[in-house]
Amino acid sequence: MKMLKTVDAAKKEIKELQDFVFLVENYEVKSVEQKILKEYAYSGSIVKVVANINNEFGLDTIDHTFVSDLLKSKPQDELHKRMKAHYLDKTRHTRKKPSKAPEYKAFQYIEQNYIDFKR
């Protein structure tokens, strides 16, 4: 269960969500890229976007890389800006630099002795 918010915070969130819904529902599609953005706004899944676009325009029209590159590109309009922010938030965990693997002295000792033992 979500934490209860203040009335003002709830009203602000409702307004933001209503603005988003209005933006997506009234988004005018003039190109394949805009169609991809609108599909992503509805599904939130690159896999579903690729499947829907390829079903509509023919097999292998677009692929996962094309959609992710489009989402990461410089935003051309408000929907693109919001979808880019959503995508980057959603994929943040995969873009973080991996932490350095800890060095275990016990393993180094075993490896060294094993090498010495093999000789």
Does the structure show a pLDDT above 60 at 14? yes
Helix (H) or strand (E) holding 64: helix 64-72
Residue 54 is predicted with a pLDDT of 92
- In angstroms, the CA 29 to CA 27 distance is 6
- Asked if the model's pLDDT at residue 63 lies above 60, the reply is yes
Q: pLDDT value at position 69?
A: 95
What residue spans define the domains of the chain? 7-118
Share of the chain above pLDDT 70, in %: 80
pTM: 0.74
pLDDT exceeds cutoff 70 at 116: no
The residue ranking higher by pLDDT, 108 or 37, is 37
Q: Is the pLDDT of residue 72 over 80?
A: yes
Task: Give the torsion through C-alpha atoms of 100, 103, 104, 109, to 10 deg.
Answer: 150
CB neighbours of residue 10 within 10 Å: 11
Q: Answer yes or no: is pLDDT of 1 > 60.
A: no
Spatial separation of the C-alpha atoms in residues 112 and 118, rounded to whole Å: 10
pLDDT digits (tens, 9 = 90+) for 17-62: 999 999 999 999 999 999 999 999 999 999 999 999 999 988 888 9
- Nearest alpha-carbon partner for 85 in 12, 11, 16: 16
DSSP state of 1: -
